[in-house]
Amino acid sequence: MMNCSRAIIVAITGFCSVLFAVTAFAQADGAPDAVSGASPAAPEIDSSKELPVRLVPNIPPAGEGYYAPDDYHFIAQARDPDAQTAGDKRIGGALTYIFTDDGKLSRRINDRGQDACSYFLPDQKRVIWTSTRDNMDMPLGDWADPKNYPQGA
C-alpha cells in the first residue's frame, strides 16, 4: 500500500513538472498571452527622461490641482488675497479656482475662508471641496497636520 501511494505522488509530481515546463516554453516565444494579451517581453521603460512638463499661464501660485474628465479644465487651490490667513508667517490662504490648461479661463469658485482638497465630480458640472468658509471664527489650524486640521472644514 505504501509503494502505491509513493508511486501516485511521484506520478503527480512528474506530471506537474512537465505541465510547468510546457507552460513556460509556450510563453518563451514572446507571443502575447491568449487570455490577457500581455507579452512576456515588455519593452524597457526609459527612466532617464521625465514626463513633459509645461507651465500653465495666467494663474497665481497654486497647489494640489486635478484635471476634469475633459483633460482641459483643472481645479486647484490658488493663493488669493481674499482668503482667510493665519496671521503668522505661513504662506497666505488659498481659495478654489477652475482653470484651463491653456490659461484662457480662470474662475474663482469660493470667495472666503480657506480651501483645500477640491475635485470635479464625474459629470463635470459639479465640484466638491473642503473649506473653512462656514466657520471662519474657529482657529485656522494646519492642513498638513492631522492633529490640528482646520475645524471649520
Q: pLDDT tens digits for 38-50? A: 666 667 777 777 8
Q: pLDDT tens digits for 85-124? A: 876 666 668 999 999 999 999 999 999 988 888 999 999 9
Q: What is the rounded distance in angstroms from the CA atom of residue 112 to the CA atom of residue 138?
A: 14
pTM to 2 decimal places: 0.62
Q: C-alpha grid cell for residue 41?
A: 517581453
Residues contacting 129, CB < 8 A, separation 6+: 75, 77, 96, 109, 110, 115, 116, 117, 118, 119
